[in-house]
Structure 1
Amino acid sequence: MDSDARPPEVHPQMMSLYVDSAVRDEVEPLLATGLFRGMTTNPTLLHRAGLTGADLPAVYDWAVAAGSREVFVQAWGADAGAIEASGRKLRELGDATVIKVAATGAGLQAAAKLAADGIPVLVTVVYAVHQAVSAAAAGAQFLAPYVGRMADLGLAGREDTLQMHRILQSSGTGARVLAASVRSTADLVALAAGGVDAFALPVPVCRALLHDAHTETAAAAFDALSAEW
């Protein structure tokens, strides 16, 4: 080995928070805080914002302009070929685009094809631990378990999500859990304490991360004293 050769620089994985919304007036102020890496969308969120797939180029443009380093958009189609084709088309929005595919048989097949060509993929609508194995085998970059919805069904949302995290950690693929359907800061804290470091958060949870009543009371007292200096 060349004595002058240096090992590649290793950067620690950073906590990655994403705003789970397509409403511009909600997303832009949160991106402006610098705490959020980007935004996640899906057809339901677009519909709630009064948008359709035709609006995605404009959504992508304003999100990136506001500081989003990653914009997640969902591919669709009746079969694997159609999902793959829509994913490739969506990737043309720009380099910040991450393609979301549902964790169906067709979706996983499309994910494998997209990932094989270097297109970043998130496997979404995940409810079962074994889907982490499938997503890792497909080469997905992210896996999105629906933590709150799993709990609604009587499943162990937090515990199963942490098990998925451990599976991906041991897979050697670099794939990460991106926890979705996170309904409270308590969910976020429990998962983060277990090692999960990527979250798609609804706007109320994003805003809750910026505030604590005790902290604000103490900060106000400091401000009152410093005003006298």
Structure 2
Amino acid sequence: MKLILDTGNVEEIKLLSDILPIDGVTTNPTIVSKEKKKFTDLIAEIGEIVGEDIPIHAQVLSTKCEDIIEEAQFISALRKNMYVKIPVTSEGLKAIKELSKRGINITATAIFTAHQGFLAAKAGAKFVAPYVNRLDNISADGVGTVNDLVQIIDQYGFDCEVLAASFKNAQQVLELMRCGVHSVTVPPDIARAMMNHPLTDWSVDQFIKDWENAFGKGSKTNN
């Protein structure tokens, strides 16, 4: 399973990518707007941190097919391993179909049904990104929808991965790991929740305390 960070904050990306084996970074217009930086400058900064071999996903703002195609080509040319996020509207699906023929890497986004994900994969998207928590917020089954989509993608052998997005907590991520999701994109707080636990810190403190009681403060195994 790929672990991707869903943020445009370069400090968070630097900190977490130093600790965790990150497989990419996703952004969207809302995330980019929070950083108060020029879009191209922000993508360049993120690229400097993660390196050219790590994918970055960035989203178009256009809504008409011809405009989406033009904007997608601009975004795709910004760096190596650039994925263009395109919402699965009818115009978006039309653009995905054409752009995939041109060799542009597409991440289909704003997916709320398995049908939408299937159509985007069939159109040539490399990633399909269903929104887990936003589905839960409308009394739908976010995890169940992603599970359905994973099975569809695997069953039909699409050259595409399900990239689950929109998480409220780490438990949602765990439930998707159980169903074999291909990749997840999580904000920094969820990434921290996945790796941290107060009992781990307590255990480390207790180990040190017991060791120092026996061998003296500051003593280590190589002393």
TM-score normalised to structure 2 length: 0.90
Return the letter of the residue paired with 2:204: A
Q: For 2:2, which of 16, 22, 25 is the aligned residue?
A: 16
Q: Is the 8 A contact 2:63 2:92 kept in 1?
A: no
Q: CA deviation at 1:76?
A: 2.6
Distance 2:178 2:167 in 1: 14
- Give the equivalent residue in structure 1 for 2:23: 37
Taking the TM superposition and a 5 Å limit, the aligned residue runs for 1:1-229 are: 15-51=1-37, 55-67=38-50, 69-224=54-209, 225=211, 227-229=218-220
CA distance in 2, matches of 1:62, 1:143: 25
SS at match of 1:66: helix
Structure number with the higher helix fraction is 2
Cα distance in 2 between the residues matched to 1:222 and 1:197: 37
1:63 aligned partner, one-letter code: I
What is the letter of the counterpart of residue 149 of structure 2? M
Aligned to 1:8: none
**2-structure distance, mates of 1:163, 1:58:** 38
Letter in 2 for 1:42: N
Instruction: Report the alpha carbon displacement of residue 28 of structure 1 after superposing the two structures with TM.
Output: 1.6
SS, match of residue 199 in structure 1: strand
Tell me the equivalent position of 2:215: none
1:157 CA displacement: 0.7
Q: What one-letter code is carried by the residue in structure 1 that aligns with 2:219?
A: E
SS in 1 for 2:164: coil
Query: How many Å separate the matches in 2 of 1:19 and 1:136?
Result: 22
Alpha-carbon distance between aligned partners in 2 of 1:66 and 1:20, rounded to the nearest angstrom: 15
Counterpart CA distance in 1 for 2:43 and 2:81 is 9
Number of equivalences: 212
- Paired with 1:223 and 1:119, the residues of 2 have a C-alpha distance of 53
Alignment root-mean-square deviation, CA = 1.5
Q: How far apart in 1 are the matches of 2:208 and 2:91? A: 57
Query: In the alignment, residue 175 of structure 2 is paired with which amino acid?
Result: A
Q: Distance in 1 between the 2:119 and 2:17 partners? A: 32
Structure with higher Rg: it is: 2
Amino acid at match of 2:97: A
Spell out structure 1 runs of 4+ moving beyond 4 A: none
Q: Aligned partners of 1:96 and 1:59: how far apart in 2? A: 15
Deviations 1:148-181 (A, max 9, x none): 0001111111111110111111121221110100
Unaligned runs of 5+ in 2: 213-217
Task: Please identify, of 218-227 and 81-90, the stretch whose mean Cα deviation from structure 2 is larger.
Answer: 218-227
- Report deviation, 1:78: 3.2
The structural deviation recorded for 1:57 is: 2.1
